[in-house]
Amino acid sequence: MEKKMNRREFIKTSLTTGALVLAGDMVKGGIDSAYGAVKIPEVEKATVTVITDNYYDALKRHYKIARRYGIEIKPGTDIYKFNLHAEHGLSYHIETVLSGNRHSFLFDYGVDFQGVSRNMELLNIDLKAVEALGLSHGHFDHWGAFLEILKSKKEEFREGIPLYVGEEGLTERFGRFPGGVVSLRQLKREDVERLGFVSIVEIKDPTSIVPGAYLTGSIERVTEYEKDSPNMLIERGGKLVPDNFIGEYAVVLNLKGKGLIVLVGCAHVGIVNMVKHAQKMTGIDKVHAVMGGFHLTGAIPELIQKTVTDIKAINPDYIVPTHCTGYEAITAFEREMPGQFILNTVGTRYLFTV
């Protein structure tokens, strides 16, 4: 039976077993880190719950590792409780099981406070057990509900809980739309500090967020086709310039005997770059699952095709495109990788077991 441990108990046990993997441990090297620089521990189990995403289907059936929310309706069930909130946003709850011990963290927070907060309640997300918070990058659709959730559920969160952000994760962003340039808002450092119980940890290098899960730190760009968008902007030296998302990172797990699980927010730096970076930093080539927003909505067909071809060559056991991947790319993955493709819906729990 898995049990929960506090940090002190975990350190004690780890020291006696010689398997010390402290959350918050950082590996120097970042973008240029050597092949296999991160000795990522194997987890025997992991569960990823999608708290919010762009798409919801209450009647979608369980499929392979995807356990859907809301299909087990029986007489007496309050039908209103089986309606989750979907939006242009993304939020995950991730649980690892390492040496029989469970650890969990949140990665991204969606936009709409009421919707995301209600989803957390309906999905029974245990915030008291959450050991850390991560943010994939500085766009509002990943942190919009952050401050209100933390404020309203303050009693449930641990004192001093770390918030891991990449470089410029707390910097204002801008988007160029047909009508002109618009601020995409900013998660302000002072607003996070004002919460009084969250400590900001800015990272550049691979960092363990909880035992069994790493944040990549900055991603090395290796493909020639995954380029910065001229429509995603950041202010540098008083000028708006294309954003290179230097601080965007992925979550990486290593499932025992199965390979890497790579979870991303928006993949503005390119999903192929992100997966290849995870392979390089861990020295593990086998990829079990790739999941998240691949930012291919509105992309030209050649870009979608090149991405699908390269992901197909990496040959993950599961591919779960969500959020900003867009209909055309999602259907392309389904067409070209039918045995590996899973359509995500809000509330789905992905059960990764050995």
Interface positions with Fe ion (CB under 5 A):
139, 141, 266, 324
Look-up of token digits 């291919």:
296
Closest distance of CB 12 from Fe ion, Å: 40
Output 86 or 324, the one with its CB closest to Fe ion.
324
Output 70 or 326, the one with its CB closest to Fe ion.
326
DSSP, residue by residue, 15-76: HHHT----TT-B-TTGGGPPTT-S-PPPBSEEEEEEEE-S---TTPPPBTTEEPSS----TT
Q: Which two tokens stand for residue 301?
A: 């067909």
Closest distance of CB 216 from Fe ion, Å: 16
Angle of the 301-314 helix axis to the 271-282 helix axis, nearest 10: 20
Residues 137/248, Cβ–Cβ less than 8 Å: yes
Closest distance of CB 187 from Fe ion, Å: 13
Closest distance of CB 77 from Fe ion, Å: 33
Output 99 or 344, the one with its CB closest to Fe ion.
344
Output 141 or 310, the one with its CB closest to Fe ion.
141
Identity of the amino acid at 223: T
Output 165 or 324, the one with its CB closest to Fe ion.
324
Closest distance of CB 324 from Fe ion, Å: 5
Output 97 or 299, the one with its CB closest to Fe ion.
299
User: How many CB atoms sit inside 10 A of residue 249's CB?
Assistant: 34
Per DSSP, helices labelled H in 72-145 are 113-122, 140-143
Q: Which two tokens stand for residue 272?
A: 């192929």
